[in-house]
Structure 1
Amino acid sequence: MITHTSSDPSPTRTVARDQHPTREERILNRISRTDVVDLASRLVAAASENPGGTEHATVQELEKALRAIGAEVHLTQVAPGRPNLVAHLGGTPDAPGILFLGHSDVVPAGPGWDHDPFVPRQEGDLLYGRGSTDMKGGLAAVVTAMAAVHAEAPETAMTLICTVDEEADALGIEHYIAQAPQRRYAACVVAEPTDLVTIVGCRGAANLEITITGASAHAGRPADGTSAILGAGEVIKAVERDCASLASDPHPVLGAATWNIGTISGGHGTSIVPDTCNLAMDRRLLPGEEPERILDRLLTAVRASAQDSQRAESGRIDFEGHVTMQMPGFLTDPDSAFPTLVTRALQEMEIDRGTGIWTASCEGGFISEHHGVPTVVLGPGDLNGQAHQPNENVSINDLHAAAGAYALIAMRSACAPRIDPPGTTTLQRNRR
């Protein structure tokens, strides 16, 4: 249920209902603000925190909405209670049309909310709730667009892939890629929140973990042991040095690769020399970079540094690491056919926010590589200002505009199934 605290704001765009509306005008006139808000609200209310829950309830709501408009829906269990969803609507196998991509999980709500994060709440132009921006609003806009297109142009092919576990380890997209045929779609739109800026590229990402093993001893005689936490300091210094090197050699479009040390844990108490320490890190990737080689170079530098500082004497310290997740990036020429089609569709919805590059990563790189299609990220909601934060909200005007833009993109992509030559849009991905 959604609670309303003010009247529904006026629509962002009204298509003239003359005596001879075009098919596109008829499609846009079918896109109801009420429908997109109601579906977004149902998805928000179906909590799917990751970690700590499952995506089953959200996928159930999505499946129900898609079947109601005639879609063929397939669910695949990635893990118990965690189903990927693939839905096809319209078209034929020879004309696969547009591919939309989203994810069903949200980050944990956390503290600081003014209201229950899973009771969607409308205040003026804003819809509040965990996932309203990232990215259940985008999913609702996609399904609303698919319904409107199918009602007027049932021959138009559209596919929605909704994966689990995007917010953590990308288990859902990895499972999809392992099983999906390399079908050629016209293009892909990732419905992540971009504030309706057309994102034409993003860096890849890898999660790395390093374990330092030292030797314990009493704190009164620390020389009898080897501190794994001091060994972690060698890792931190090596990362800092590499950060400076990377910043001096950025990619001309995507910018510099970066490091972030996210967590560090170790030790057993203040009176014990710590024998173990663990670090978890994020590394943003540029084209051609291989996470395993990055990890090997880091470990080589750290071991040499530890040897120089005599921490490695007697063989009492060791550094081991592994790559726990990697996500490919992608880059689509902003002046090529598909981004141009997308920005024109947005302009017709009275949205003109240009193109850009994302500092985040997303699953679009997997699709760009696997299906060989031009890819953009485009969705309602402010990633930096709202996603993963208390009182997360999304503009209802932007939900409505996104649904209209998605509908136009689907229609126009279907008319040009080979929008860009294959192989021109993907950053290199190297599997572990």
Structure 2
Amino acid sequence: MNELERSVLAKIDQEQLARLCRQLIQAPSENPGGNEESTVLLLQSLLQDLGSTVHLQYAAPGRPNLIAHLGGGNAGGGLLFLGHSDVVPAGSGWDADPFTARREGNRLIGRGATDMKGGLSAVIAAMASVNQHAPHIPLTLICTVDEEANALGIEHYISTAEAAQYLACIVAEPTDLITIIGCRAAANLQVQISGASAHAGRPSDGASAIEAAAELVALIGENKQKLAAAPHPVLGPATWNVGTLKAGHGTSIVPDEAWLGIDRRLLPGEDPQQVLDALLAAARNRIEAAENLDALKLQIRGSVQMFMPGFLTDPEAPLVRQVCTTLQDLGAAGKHGIWTASCEGGFIAEHHNVPTVVLGPGEINTQAHQPNESVSVSDLHTAACAYALIALRQYETSQN
């Protein structure tokens, strides 16, 4: 490391970083709930105290995106960080108040500690330290609302923001400090099946939406096997998951309506509307062929409720090599991998045409969305140091 890098890292204090993360956790922003504003206003105050130019962009009443520029004349550009202000509902099973952050040894516990108040706090600490020692380096943070539900914030951002030039994008989601070079796209599909109600004593007078839904679920199960047999060489296979099924009015009534919520992870080249249309067509054919169903009384329709594009950065790209090397310099493994989750990085990679990776403190599978969610304080510090070094090194590379 050179002298500038050592000076920047020396200013990132682990205990100050932990306190910052606690502040963010204690500004609740549950979604569903639509109450991200308290967290965003805290972020605005923190970033303005650093000298950032901060713009709030309301995607809906009380639900502001935040766009902050620091350094380089506050003109944007440089390294772009991406995060989100909302957290999933706390739910039950906590040992203490989920929004009163508490410290147990090296771990900070509270809703959002991992996903992703921890990543946001590390970004702010990195931006502060870089700007203190190298104010000519431009840094940008975009923090969206509604990432955990319907992507309202990021969709509003890309519909209003002009495409800008950035050196790279770091999505500060929890990756256990592994550099994620890509993820599949994600679509939330809603399917409604309408049948005909009748008395359960003579069910043939009606048409069961639940039995038709069972045919749809069976069809999806068969398609899962086909998808598993044809994986993408890097991203793996596309997948289905039937997450919700709501139907019926009582045990003595033939159900006339059924609603299914379906998750579909998509590979490059797949279009969510085309996937849905193919599913509905195959389901109609299957229902018509089923001897126990009156297809004339059954209708099936659906819609794409949310779509989050995927992305894939070449593992040999300069950004990936630089991020992995930086993590190794800090004592981390410096590995890269693929994410099974989804994130908003695909929107940014596509809209700004910028190389993108996901990197952050915390573990998405064992901590995010769990009771007693927690993050390692030492990992917060490593993440902040990595973000700072990446910003310095990306800028230096761009000048050569």
CA distance in 2, matches of 1:108, 1:313: 41
Question: Residue in 2 aligned with 1:193?
Answer: 174
The aligned residue for residue 323 of structure 2 is 342
Counterpart-to-counterpart distance in 1, 2:311 and 2:15: 35
Amino acid at match of 2:67: V
Letter in 1 for 2:216: V
Count of aligned positions: 400
Root-mean-square deviation over aligned CA pairs: 1.5
Cα pair 2:52 2:68 within 8 Å, conserved: yes
Q: C-alpha distance in 1, partners of 2:291/2:79?
A: 59
Which secondary structure state, in structure 2, belongs to the residue aligned with residue 159 of structure 1? Answer: strand
The answer as to whether partners of 2:69 and 2:75 remain within 8 angstroms in 1 is no
CA gap 1:136/1:98 in 2 versus in 1, 3 angstroms: same
CA–CA separation in structure 1 for the residues paired with 2:374 and 2:260: 33
Q: How does 1:9-24 map to 2 (within 5 A)?
A: 22-24=3-5
Q: Paired residue for 1:139?
A: 120
Q: Which segment drifts farther, 130-139 or 306-315? A: 306-315
CA distance in 2, matches of 1:183, 1:35: 33
Partner of 1:237: 218
* Aligned residue number for residue 373 of structure 2: 392
State the 1:53 CA deviation. 4.3
Between stretches 49-58 and 310-319, larger displacement belongs to 310-319
Q: Look up the SS of the partner of 1:34 in the other structure.
A: helix
Tell me the TM-score normalised to structure 2 length. 0.98
Alignment match of 1:260 (pick from 231, 238, 241) = 241
Matched, 1:209 2:190: yes
Q: 1:310: Cα distance to partner?
A: 4.1
1:181 equivalent to 2:162? Answer: yes
Alignment counterpart, residue 293 of structure 1, candidates 274, 286, 290: 274
| Equivalent residue runs for 1:384-423 within 5 Å | 384-417=365-398
Separation in 1, partners of 2:125, 2:76: 21
Alignment partners' CA distance in 1, 2:294 and 2:379 = 61
In the alignment, the residues of structure 2 paired with residue 128 and residue 32 of structure 1 have an alpha-carbon distance, to the nearest angstrom, of: 19
Residue 332 of structure 1, aligned match among 293, 302, 313: 313
The two structures have a TM-score, normalised by structure 1, of: 0.90
Relative to structure 1, is the Cα distance of residues 272 and 190 closer, same or farther in structure 2, using a 3 angstrom cutoff? Answer: same
2:149 — aligned with what?
Answer: 168
Counterpart of 2:55, as a letter, is H
Letter in 2 for 1:197: I
1:119 is displaced (CA, Å) by 0.4
Provide the C-alpha distance between the structure 2 equivalents of 1:220 and 1:383, rounded to a whole number of angstroms.
Answer: 49
Which residues in structure 2 correspond to 1:22-421 (within 5 Å)? 22-92=3-73, 96-310=77-291, 313=294, 315-417=296-398
CA distance in structure 1 between the aligned counterparts of 2:97 and 2:72, rounded to whole angstroms: 41
> What aligned pairs does 1:1-16 form with structure 2 within 5 A after superposition?
none
Secondary structure of 1:278's aligned partner: strand
Does the CA-based 8 Å contact 2:70-2:76 persist in structure 1? no
Distance verdict in 2 for CA 1:398–1:312, change over 3 Å: same
Q: CA deviation at 1:95?
A: 7.1
TM-superposition CA deviations, 1:75-98 (whole Å, max 9, x none): 011112110000000115887100
Please give the per-residue CA displacement for 1:195-248, whole angstroms capped at 9, x wherever unaligned: 000000100000001000000000001000000000101110110111011001
Question: Can you give the 5+ residue segments of structure 1 that lack an aligned partner in the other structure?
Answer: 1-14, 16-20, 420-432
SS in 1 for 2:72: coil
Q: Is the 8 A contact 2:26 2:100 kept in 1?
A: yes
Going from structure 1 to structure 2, the CA distance change for 1:211 and 1:132 (only over 3 Å counts) comes to same
